Structure 1
Amino acid sequence: MKAVTDADFEAAVLKSDKPVLVDFWAEWCGPCRMVAPILEEISAEHGDKLEIVKMNIDENPLKPGQLGITGIPTLQVYKDGEIVKQIVGAKPKAALLRELADFI
């Protein structure tokens, strides 16, 4: 999964031709570390339909601040430049797949 930054968020996420899930995370966040391998599995299984990218909120404070991200992990799905789904907190793979069913 590739990392996105404040600088390339618009090009990588908002202008993507397929849905993009952004994982807002930080190194110090235990639940973020729990959900990361699950997202890697989902990316490997469904990457043709849904792109998954990561944004470190400590290294990129601007965009998460603008988006009102107050807790992590927060997962946001963007389609055609708009937020179409938000998932807050770590969830097991089955729950994430249910939440993402419309996009995969």
Structure 2
Amino acid sequence: MATVAVTDDTFDAEVKNSDVPVVVDFWAEWCGPCKQIGPALEELSEEYGDKIKIAKVDVDSNPNAPMSLGVRGIPALFIFKNGEVVSNRAGAAPKAALQNWINESI
């Protein structure tokens, strides 16, 4: 399963109402660290398959979802399980660190 682009309008349906845990990546086109972790998230999305969903929210086009979660800087990553935030972290990290964080959270 590839990453899913999520908007303010689809956030509840794609993230909060998901049957599987969702990793939400708040990012922007101009953000260098966001671009660094993008390929790692794509790879993790393929490796986890249907076990999790990885959603990407462009904060420039969709300010409401990040604002409601108190996002101050990007990249900001949140893990939702059963509609609730179970973990979050800020900043870029290597793929192995992201994978460990996801495994600990789900």
Task: State if a TM-score over 0.5 links the two structures.
Answer: yes
For 1:37, the equivalent position in structure 2 comes to: 39
Tell me the C-alpha RMSD between the 2 structures: 1.1
Determine whether 1:87 maps to 2:89: yes
Q: Unpaired runs of 5+ in structure 2?
A: none
Q: Unpaired runs of 5+ in structure 1?
A: none
- Please state whether the residue corresponding to 2:104 is helix, strand or coil: coil
- Please state whether the residue corresponding to 2:51 is helix, strand or coil: coil
Deviations 1:50-104 (A, max 9, x none): 1101000000011111110001001100000100010210000111111111356
In 2, the alpha carbon distance for the partners of 1:32 and 1:95 equals 15
TM score, norm. by length of structure 2:
0.94
The residue correspondences of 1:21-32 to structure 2 (distance < 5 A) are: 21-32=23-34
Number of aligned residues:
104
Contact 2:4 2:53 in 1 (8 A): no
Moved over 2 A (4+): none
Give me the identity figure in percent: 53
